């Protein structure tokens, strides 16, 4: 192999590393890298009198000007002409160092447009692009010349304000930007309307890096979105702790399902007419090493952010079928909670049907509890799975009824068997007449539709008396039994000796 071949192969390898393909035009950064690579190789080729020298015919002046153009492009957002992410990080790094040297404060504002997707979807991408350009100009016009306004991508902008002092200045800047962006954008024949969720972080602290500050401002922006949009929220350290906690719970929960750390407790469901235990609701718990028994509210919402929830729900389904077969043989029904995401999974009905086959439980003895929000936000897959569940013969219950959108037409269209009145109404029904009226109305409506009614969260005898008066069918609550281990339910169905009382 001669030197030419060796050099050409080395060059080819490096070119491949730049991911330049004929199918896509290279990014400015890739062009720059290519130019650097060619000029190095060019020099080498010159020295070693190799063939590549002839193939590159760029004068050094052209090369320099092209380099400058590309450098600019590599740091500029092509749509708005504002600095892009790479330029922002560079500015932020420099500003942080300068502010630290001069003992000045620095603020970062992370701006995300609310409703931009709707503008894009309804008015088209050309209007969307124009809006982004105008939004960038409006933000720029709110700022001092020494402030940097950059576009990160999509509908996200970042402002860096060096040398800010005083606690009200940054919120004032955020309010100014917010009101400028909330004004309609006249584009062609349209009036595009958006608002802005803004996260802000101020620092006099020299320790934080540019990426840290951006991340903190982004977190604060997310809180502004969650808090209702069209607002500015300042970063505080609890936001970072919440993110760290979510991350650690998600990681540990991934191992919990296979690592046998999940448990199921069963809360008795009682017939109000004769106070007999007729079934139980399965409620998951997590015995997390080093943390004790973790309640569902502390991990189910995190599991629901990913497919972890399906693993949890499917494990509970299998465990209930394994442990509850004897109770069902004695005539009990068992209720199981299913999250929206689980109900979208292909394999949930298959898992359930296999578990039913193995356990011998009749499908009609299992009740799947879903919320109104799950019903309303459900995709086609949700509706398909609901139909398949019905076909299988399991029952459906609407959990926490009255707290979601309570769509009566949805209720009419969905083939359900049970309504569970949310405990917030039950909690107040013996103290305030409007809660009692709502409970009464739900029972009347449910019965008119041929549904069975369960009231959750019954804690006091007065509530039980009122519920009996208005014809509620079944109840669940601390008055009748807390969530219990399976052995206690064995005893409730006479499948184990009663526990000997102490003394
Ligand atoms: P939910 O399905 O509405 O369950 C009722 C919740 O109310 C349970 O809380 C139960 O312990 C509690 N509760 C029952 N009676 C009373 C009472 O008299 N007073 C009060 N204050 N509370 C009472 P828990 O066990 O903490 O579960 C909370 C939620 O977590 C459940 O609400 C359900 O949405 C979810 N969850 C529990 N297990 C699972 C599961 O296996 N899968 C899914 N996807 N979600 C589950
Ligand atoms: Mg439930
Ligand atoms: Mg409930």
Q: What is the DSSP letter of 460?
A: S
Does residue 327 share a domain with residue 180?
no
**Rounded to whole angstroms, what are the CA distances from 29 to 84, 348, 385, 446?**
12, 46, 48, 64
Same domain, yes or no: 32 and 8: yes
Instruction: Give per-residue pLDDT as tens, 313-344.
Output: 999 999 999 999 999 999 999 999 999 999 99
Q: What are phi and psi of 397, to 5 degrees?
A: -130, 145
pLDDT range class, residue 23, cuts 50, 70, 90: very low
Q: Are residues 29 and 115 in the same domain?
A: no
User: Distance from first CA to last CA of the chain, Å, rounded?
Assistant: 95
Cα separation, 21 vs 25, whole angstroms:
7
pLDDT value of position 479? 97
How far does the centroid of ligand 2 lie from the alpha carbon of residue 372, in Å? Answer: 12
Cβ atoms of residues 336 and 317 within 8 Å: yes
Token pair 């330049």 is found at 20
Is the pLDDT at 201 greater than 50, yes or no? yes
Q: Considering the domain boundaries, does residue 500 fall inside one?
A: no
Assigned domain for 424 exists:
yes
Q: Are residues 228 and 274 in the same domain?
A: no
Confidence class for position 18, pLDDT limits 50, 70, 90: low
Residues 6+ apart with CB under 8 A from 316: 262, 264, 282, 284, 336, 337
CB 324 less than 6 A from any atom of ligand 1: no
In which band, very low, low, confident or very high, does the pLDDT at 464 lie, cut at 50, 70 and 90? very high
Considering 235, 268, 294, which residue would you say is the last residue of a domain?
A: 235
Phi, psi of 229 (to 5 degrees): 65, 175
Q: Strand 190-192 to strand 156-164: parallel, antiparallel, or no bridges (unpaired)?
A: unpaired
289 CA to centre of ligand 2 in angstroms: 26
Bridge partners for 99 per DSSP: none
The whole-number pLDDT of residue 16 equals: 60
The tokens 């014809």 sit on which residue? 471
The answer to whether position 68 is within a domain reads yes
List, as one string, the DSSP characters of 246-265: HHHHHHHHHHHHHTT-EEEE
pLDDT at 369 over 70: yes
Centroid of ligand 2 to alpha carbon of 218 (angstroms): 34
CA distance 411 to 419: 10
Mean pLDDT on 130-153: 97
What confidence score (pLDDT) does residue 438 get? 95
Domain boundary among 235, 270, 289: 235
If one compares 390 and 49, the residue with the highest pLDDT of the two is 390
Quote the ligand 3 centre to 486 CA distance (angstroms): 20
Q: From the alpha carbon of 478, which atom of ligand 1 is closest?
A: 18
Are 33 and 137 part of one and the same domain?
no
Mean pLDDT in residue range 449-470: 97
CA dist 277 and 270 (Å) reads: 4
Give the C-alpha separation, 332 to 365, whole Å. Answer: 7
State whether 482 and 387 are in the same domain.
yes
The predicted structure's pLDDT at residue 414: 83
Q: What is the CATH number of the domain that holds 381?
A: 3.20.20.450
49 has pLDDT over 80:
no
Q: Are residues 281 and 391 in the same domain?
A: yes
Pocket test for ligand 1, best of 265, 270, 283 (most atoms within 8 A of CB): 283
Q: Say yes or no to pLDDT of 42 above 80.
A: no
In the structure, ligand 2 is a single-atom ion and the residues with CB under 5 Å from it are: 337, 369, 399
State percent of the chain over pLDDT 70.
87
How is 360-386 classified by DSSP, letter by letter? T--GGGEEEEEEHHHHHH--HHHHHHH
Locate 336 and state its tokens: 């199981």
Structural domain range at position 154: 85-235
Greater confidence, 11 or 361? Answer: 361
In angstroms, the CA 166 to CA 105 distance is 9
Secondary structure (DSSP) of 271-296:
ETTT--EEEEEEEEEEEETTTEEE-G
Same domain? For 319 and 443 the reply is yes
> Is residue 241 one of the residues assigned to a domain?
no
Q: Checking phi first, is residue 415 left (phi over 0); if not, alpha (psi -120 to 50) or beta?
A: beta
| In-domain check, residue 132 | yes
Comparing 339-348, 377-386, 465-474, the range with the smallest average pLDDT is 377-386
pTM exceeds 0.75 for this model: yes
483 CB neighbour count, 10 Å cutoff: 20
Band (pLDDT 50/70/90 cuts) for residue 22 is: very low
Q: How far is the CA of 351 from the centre of ligand 1 (A)?
A: 23
Domain count, the chain: 3
Looking at the structure, tell me whether residues 313 and 436 fall in a common domain.
yes
Same domain, 190 and 288: no
Verify whether ligand 1 is closer than 6 Å to residue 399 (CB atom): yes
The beta-strand segments (E) located in 128-272 are: 148-153, 156-164, 185-187, 190-192, 195-203, 232-234, 262-271
Q: Is 270 in the pocket of ligand 1 (CB under 6 A)?
A: no
220 and 277 part of one domain: no
CATH number, domain of 202, equals 3.30.70.270
Residue 28 within any structural domain of the chain: yes
Residues 394-398, mean pLDDT to the nearest whole number: 97
pLDDT band at 32 (very low <50, low <70, confident <90, very high): low
9 and 124, same domain (yes or no): no
């Amino acid at each position: 192999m001669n030197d030419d071949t060796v050099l050409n192969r080395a060059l080819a390898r490096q070119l491949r590393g730049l991911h330049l393909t004929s199918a896509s035009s290279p990014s400015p950064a890739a062009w720059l890298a290519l130019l650097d690579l060619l000029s190095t190789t060019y020099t080498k080729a010159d020295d070693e009198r190799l063939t590549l020298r002839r193939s590159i015919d760029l004068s050094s002046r052209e090369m320099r000007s092209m380099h400058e153009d590309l450098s600019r492009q590599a740091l500029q957002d092509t749509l708005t002409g504002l600095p892009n992410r790479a330029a922002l990080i560079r500015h932020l790094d420099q500003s942080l160092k300068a502010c630290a040297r001069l003992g000045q404060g620095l603020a970062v504002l992370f701006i995300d447009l609310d409703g931009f997707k709707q503008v894009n979807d309804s008015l088209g991408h050309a209007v969307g692009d124009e809006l982004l350009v105008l939004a960038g100009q409006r933000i720029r016009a709110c700022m001092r010349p020494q402030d940097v306004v950059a576009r990160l991508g999509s509908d996200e902008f970042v402002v860096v304000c060096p040398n800010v002092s005083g606690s009200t200045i940054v919120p004032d800047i955020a309010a100014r930007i917010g009101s400028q962006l909330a004004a309609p954008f006249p584009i062609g024949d349209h009036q595009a309307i958006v608002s802005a969720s803004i996260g802000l972080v101020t620092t006099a602290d020299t320790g934080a890096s540019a990426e840290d500050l951006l991340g903190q401002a982004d977190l604060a922006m997310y809180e502004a979105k969650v808090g209702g949009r069209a607002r500015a929220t300042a970063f505080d350290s609890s936001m970072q702790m919440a993110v760290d906690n979510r991350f650690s719970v998600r990681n540990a929960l991934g191992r919990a399902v296979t690592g046998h750390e999940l448990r199921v407790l069963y809360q008795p469901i009682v017939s109000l007419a004769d106070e007999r235990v007729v079934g139980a609701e399965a409620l998951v718990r997590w015995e997390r090493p080093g943390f004790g028994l973790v309640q569902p509210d502390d991990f189910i919402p995190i599991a629901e952010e990913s497919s972890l929830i399906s693993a949890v729900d499917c494990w509970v389904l299998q465990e209930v079928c394994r442990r509850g077969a004897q109770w069902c043989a004695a005539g009990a029904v068992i209720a199981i909670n299913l999250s929206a995401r689980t109900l979208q999974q292909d394999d949930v009905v298959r898992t359930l049907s296999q578990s039913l086959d193995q356990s011998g439980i009749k499908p009609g003895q299992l009740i799947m509890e879903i919320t109104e929000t799950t019903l309303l936000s459900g995709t086609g897959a949700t509706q398909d799975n609901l139909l398949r569940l019905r076909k299988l013969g399991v029952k459906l219950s609407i959990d926490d009824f009255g707290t979601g959108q309570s769509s009566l037409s949805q209720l009419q269209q969905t083939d359900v068997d049970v309504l569970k009145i949310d405990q917030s109404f039950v909690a107040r029904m013996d103290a305030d007449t409007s809660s009692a009226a709502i409970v009464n109305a739900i029972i009347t409506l449910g019965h008119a539709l041929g549904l069975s009614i369960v009231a959750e969260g019954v804690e006091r005898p007065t509530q039980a008396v009122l519920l009996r008066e208005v014809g509620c069918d079944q109840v669940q609550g601390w008055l009748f039994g807390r969530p219990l281990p399976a052995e206690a339910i064995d005893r409730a169905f006479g499948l184990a000796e009663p526990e000997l009382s102490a003394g």
